[in-house]
Amino acid sequence: MKLPAGLFAAEDGLARCSWCAASPAYRDYHDQEWGFPVTDERRLFEKLCLEGFQAGLSWLTILNKRESFRAAFANFDAERVARFGPKDVERLLADAGIVRHRGKIESTINNAQRLLELRAEFGSLVGYAWAFEPGAKARPRRVTHAALRAMTTSDTSIAMSKDLKKRGWTFVGPTTVYAFMQAMGLVNDHIEGCHVRERALAARAALQLPPQLTPSQ
């Protein structure tokens, strides 16, 4: 049976979003992580940082280096990363396991410091990020291949990007933030017919969020 555009059938016969066809590791990421709601602050911070590192690259490149990034950046423990200094920057620039880009490395340290400030104001990155979830009570929108290709930002990703920048965060443009929203389950962009889509929607329906903290926009 011919699958709709944007889907492919893997060796197990299951239909998946075609962007994950490149490798088994990519398919595992698609099946187990992408689009499932996340309320763990460390994972949210890690994803924002890694999306910043992805700028100009593919997510598969970053995914393949993710364990090295975790080792290099203290498992994205914001308190520890916030204390990184010039010697750490030089250490990271010499680490072949990560993307050695001074601006992105320094951005990660800066953003860890900004996260500590955000906690003081909002309690956590969890409440802050989920306050930007679009249409939480609306019916899930239909996602086609054409719609997904066209959707690189949204009103909410633009709003969150603007607010983060106002707070001093860097490498958090609207496209980066939208990719973060897709991955962390704030939106579900699994294409109609993907075998993961309904499972991700069910996970969101079952999610008990912490008290919403609405940032000023």
Catalytic positions, written as ranges: 29, 51, 59
* In the chain, alpha helices (H): 24-32, 41-54, 59-64, 66-72, 78-82, 86-93, 102-122, 125-130, 145-150, 155-166, 174-184, 197-206
CB–CB of 119/128 below 8 Å?
no
What's the rounded Cα separation, in Å, for the pair 10 and 126? Answer: 34
State the virtual CA torsion across 99, 78, 37, 25 in degrees, nearest 10. Answer: 30
